């Protein structure tokens, strides 16, 4: 189906087409260099140089200043037996997996509702997108108040023991709060992509289905879902990569606590700034980088592969 | 911001699909729900879901307008009685709101303008010289930043900005632009491919230089893409907490989101003050969104689907 492959056409395979007439020219106008070089230089300074510095220092014992020496893979080997690192990876991947499922299920169902025949369609869309424009840490502070003040009151009133104390103070439940707030913020972006996907499905497909006697639910599962599967792939991979970078919301809710129960990978990396294990956390960052690259490559492969079909 | 660009770049198709974007609804869709009868059951379910969005916002507004005496009772859902602005007055002075607001506005404006201008410049040069190795490889090089989230390079960047005297809002703006650049170049080059070359040829026949052609012809044509790029840059920059909190060393030059975190302990149990402060920090983006929502929704959809 062309509709399913639509969002993921090739990128690098298609060079800009408008170059042909100028190919005959032997010299590039100087102004084109003036357009390009500043970006290249600034970009190198801002991203490439720090990345190289970081990777280099991950093989040293630097504490961020003063003398250092090369120590090979020691930092990397140490990471694998460091409970702080392991627990942050476990937490971050667990959190990202749960959140990505929750966000996509909620966003997909909302998108189906918002593209159906409903009242107040515009107003509802307006409301559902608001969380996207709110700062993560600020809304986390608001939810922090609700979780630590309002929810316990509710828990005590209804006799639900688990909720009678702040779930943010409970090492086994604090992650749930982080999932909820992250999802609250991430649903709108995901939702908008699903709406675009749903609107790209031609209406006559449904007409034919209902003539054949398919129920609404059958249409959703047999027609809608297969046709938006490309958008599901985008949303899942994009979301997962974003959630691995969780920082702002966690700072606002638990600050990594109780203890270090909800400390994400980015939060662990940043401790290298104050904690004196600069080189060690650079090894952590490099590892994180490799993981992000692998996910991105999977994403590219899936989108390209699907496109080739 | 929840949406980040990725490398699932796409060709020109998305540009054409923009026409079928958020606001337009294919007429055939309405037929399947059986005539023009609106689905009340779906509407009611959605209204109930919308409550989950509204409640935290309602709590923020109502807490902000309470007196301190009423706010400490901890009841989040009661209406303010009496209605009071004392929280705002205290928060305004305590957090030095005008300063933080100014810093946030300057960083965001700088990021939006810088991302659009630098991105458009580079994309124009790249797309018009695609047959040159330097330009083609530059494209892939600049795009590679999509693989690099801020936490990966945060530590060296903190050090470098410190060494260069950029541990301030200028440095934050600069880094924001650089992290947005890949995505904007991806969008701009895709769009530039779809602009027919004849337009430029005729401008050149009329004697326009490349510089003039860019500003008088290409840049205006890029406007819809610039809007998308600008919206992404705005949301990423205005709401960012992690980067300014780590890069800017002087607390007096912090952005609105960071200021909220700095004053957490001083707010203590003065919930009316803290919520007034949150509200003042959130409101500008929400108000801007309400006035430009069609653009925001279309821009985000287009950018995300394409990116």
Q: Which residues of B touch A196 (CB under 8 A)?
A: 17, 21-22, 301, 305
Q: How many helices and strands in chain A, by DSSP H and E?
A: 16, 0
Q: Are B224 and B295 in contact (CB under 8 A)?
A: no
Which pLDDT score, from 0 to 100, does residue B79 have? 87
pLDDT in tens, A102-125: 999 999 999 999 988 888 888 999
Contact with chain B for residue A146, Cβ under 8 A: yes
pLDDT at A142: 94
Interface test with A, best of B46, B284, B298 (most A CBs within 10 A): B46
Give mean pLDDT, residues A75-93.
93
Mean residue pLDDT of chain A comes to: 85
Q: Kindly tell me if the per-residue pLDDT of B18 is higher than 50.
A: no
- Name chain B contacts of A186, Cβ cutoff 8 Å: 2
Q: Alpha-carbon distance A235 to A237, whole Å?
A: 6
Q: Which helix (H) or strand (E) holds B176?
A: helix B169-193
Determine the Cα–Cα distance for residues B152 and B145; give it in Å rounded to an integer: 11
Q: Is there a contact between B303 and B228 (Cβ–Cβ < 8 Å)?
A: yes
**In this complex, do B304 and A150 lie within 8 Å of one another by their Cβ atoms?**
no
Look at residue B150 in the predicted model and tell me its pLDDT.
92
CB of A305 less than 8 A from some CB of B = no
Selected residues 19-48 of chain A with any CB under 8 Å from a CB in chain B:
19-23, 28-29, 31-33, 35-36, 38-40, 42-43, 46-47
B3 min Cα distance to partner chain A (Å): 6
Domain assignments of chain A as residue spans, ordered by start: 45-134+167-308
CB of A5 less than 8 A from some CB of B:
no
Amino acid A264: pLDDT: 94
Q: Which two tokens stand for residue B69?
A: 């005496």
SS3 (DSSP) at B209? coil
Tokens, residue B283? 């409101």
Report DSSP state, residue B131.
Answer: T
Measured between beta carbons, which residues in chain A are less than 8 angstroms from residue B150?
Answer: 245, 266
**A118-163 pLDDT per residue, tens:** 888 889 999 999 999 999 999 999 999 999 888 888 888 887 777 8
CB–CB of A154/A163 below 8 Å?
yes
The pLDDT of residue B24: 40
Asked if B289's CB is within 8 angstroms of A237's CB, the reply is no
Tell me which residue in B186, B241, B288 faces A135 most closely, judged by beta carbons.
B241
Among A24, A50, A54, which would you mutate to test the B interface (most chain B Cβ atoms within 10 Å of its Cβ)? Answer: A50
| pLDDT of amino acid A56 | 93
For residue B8, pLDDT beyond 60: no
- Enter the tokens of residue A69: 């020496």
Contact criterion met (CB below 8 Å) for A73 and B5:
no
User: What Rg do the C-alpha atoms of chain B give, in angstroms?
Assistant: 23
Mean pLDDT of A286-296: 92
Q: Do B76 and A38 touch (CB under 8 A)?
A: no
Residue of A nearest to B187 (CA): A11
Please give the domain boundaries of chain B with CATH numbers for all domains.
96-306 (1.10.3720.10)
Interface touch A202/B288, C-beta < 8 Å? no
Q: How far is CA B276 from the centre of its chain?
A: 23
The answer to whether B129 and B135 have CB atoms below 8 angstroms apart is: yes
- Residue A284 CB neighbour total at 10 angstroms: 29
Whether residue A184 and residue B128 make contact (CB cut-off 8 A), yes or no, is no
Q: Does the N-terminal peptide bond of residue A258 adopt cis geometry, omega within 30 degrees of 0?
A: yes
Q: How far is CA B257 from CA A184, B172, B251, B262, in A?
A: 18, 14, 12, 9
Q: Do A110 and B49 touch (CB under 8 A)?
A: yes
Query: What is the percentage of chain B residues whose pLDDT exceeds 70?
Result: 86
- Structure token digits, residue A198: 């749903």
Looking at residue B38, its pLDDT comes to: 67
Contact B125 A282 (CB under 8 A): no
pLDDT digits (tens, 9 = 90+) for A192-245: 999 988 988 888 888 888 888 888 888 888 888 888 888 898 889 889 999 999
- For residues B174-197, average pLDDT: 91
What ipTM does this complex have? Answer: 0.85
pLDDT of residue B305: 65
* The pair of three-digit structure tokens given for residue B83, joined into one six-digit string: 């209605």
CA distance B272 to B294: 33
As given in the structure block, the two tokens for residue A156 are: 């005590």
Enter the tokens of residue A52. Answer: 């190289």
A27-43 pLDDT, tens digit per residue, is 778 889 999 999 999 99
Greater pLDDT, A302 or B124:
B124
φ, ψ of residue A60 to 5 degrees: the values are -120, 180
Opening angle at CA B270, ends B266 and B273, nearest 5 = 85
The chain A residue lying nearest B27, using CA atoms, is A203
Nearest to residue A122, comparing CAs of B171, B293, B168? B293
Place of tokens 């190919």: A23
CATH no. for A45-134+167-308? 1.10.3720.10
- pLDDT tens column, B190-221: 889 888 888 888 888 888 888 999 999 999 99
Name the residue with tokens 């701009």: B188
Tokens representing residue B135 in the block: 């330009």
CA A130/CA A136 separation, integer angstroms: 12
Alpha carbon of A236: minimum distance to chain B alpha carbons (Å):
11
Answer yes or no: is pLDDT of B14 > 70: no
Q: What is the pLDDT of residue B30?
A: 41
């Amino acid at each position: 189906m062309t509709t399913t492959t639509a969002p993921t056409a090739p990128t690098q395979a298609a060079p800009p087409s408008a170059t042909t007439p100028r190919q005959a020219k032997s010299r590039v106008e100087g102004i084109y260099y003036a357009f390009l070089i500043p970006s290249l230089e600034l970009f190198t300074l801002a991203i490439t140089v720090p990345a190289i510095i970081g990777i280099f220092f991950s093989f040293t014992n630097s504490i961020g200043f003063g003398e250092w020496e090369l120590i090979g893979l020691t930092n990397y080997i140490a990471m694998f037996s460091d409970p702080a690192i392991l627990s942050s990876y476990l937490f971050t991947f667990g959190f990202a997996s749960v959140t990505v499922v929750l966000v996509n299920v909620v966003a997909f169902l909302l998108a189906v509702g918002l593209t159906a025949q409903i009242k107040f369609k515009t107003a509802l869309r307006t409301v559902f997108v608001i969380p996207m424009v709110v700062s993560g840490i600020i809304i986390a502070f608001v939810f922090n108040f609700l979780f630590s003040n309002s929810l316990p009151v509710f828990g005590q009133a209804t006799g639900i023991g688990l909720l009678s104390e702040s779930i943010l103070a409970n090492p086994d439940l604090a992650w749930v709060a982080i999932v909820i707030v992250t999802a609250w913020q991430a649903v709108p972006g995901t939702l908008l992509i699903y709406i675009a996907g749903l609107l790209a499905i031609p209406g006559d497909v449904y007409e034919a289905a209902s003539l054949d006697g398919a129920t609404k639910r059958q249409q959703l599962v047999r027609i809608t879902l297969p046709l938006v599967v490309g958008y599901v792939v985008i949303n899942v991979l994009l979301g997962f990569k974003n959630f691995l970078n969780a920082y702002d919301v966690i700072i606002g809710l638990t600050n990594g606590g109780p203890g270090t129960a909800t400390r994400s990978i980015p939060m662990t990396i940043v401790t290298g700034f104050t904690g004196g294990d600069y080189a060690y956390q650079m090894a952590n960052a490099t590892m994180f980088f490799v993981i992000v690259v692998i996910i991105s490559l999977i994403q590219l492969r899936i989108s390209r592969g699907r496109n080739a079909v | 911001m929840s949406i980040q660009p990725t490398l699932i770049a796409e060709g020109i198709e998305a540009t054409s699909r923009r026409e079928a974007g958020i606001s337009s609804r294919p007429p055939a869709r309405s037929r399947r729900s059986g005539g023009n009868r609106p689905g009340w059951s779906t509407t009611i379910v959605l209204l109930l879901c919308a409550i989950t969005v509204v409640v935290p916002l309602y709590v923020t507004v109502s807490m902000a307008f309470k007196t301190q005496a009423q706010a400490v009772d901890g009841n989040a859902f009661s209406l303010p009685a009496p209605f009071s602005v004392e929280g705002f007055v205290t928060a305004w002075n305590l957090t030095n709101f005008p300063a933080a607001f100014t810093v946030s506005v300057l960083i965001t404006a700088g990021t939006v303008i810088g991302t659009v201008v630098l991105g458009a410049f580079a994309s124009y040069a790249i797309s018009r010289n695609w047959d040159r190795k330097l330009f083609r490889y530059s494209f892939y090089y600049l795009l590679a930043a999509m693989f690099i989230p801020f936490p990966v390079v945060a530590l060296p960047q903190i050090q470098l900005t410190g060494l260069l005297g950029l541990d301030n809002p200028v440095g934050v703006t600069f880094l924001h632009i650089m992290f947005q650049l890949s995505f904007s170049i991806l969008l701009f080059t895709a769009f530039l491919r779809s602009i027919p070359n004849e337009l430029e040829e005729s401008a050149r026949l009329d004697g326009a230089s490349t510089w003039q052609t860019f500003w008088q012809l290409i840049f205006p044509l890029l406007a819809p893409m610039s809007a998308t790029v600008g919206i992404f840059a705005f949301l990423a920059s205005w709401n960012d907490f992690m980067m300014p909190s780590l890069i800017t060393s002087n607390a007096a030059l912090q952005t609105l989101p960071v200021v909220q975190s700095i004053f957490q302990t001083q707010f203590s149990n003065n919930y009316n003050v803290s919520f007034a402060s949150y509200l003042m920090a959130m409101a500008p983006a929400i108000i801007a969104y309400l006035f430009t929502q069609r653009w925001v929704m279309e821009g985000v959809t287009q950018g995300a689907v394409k990116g």
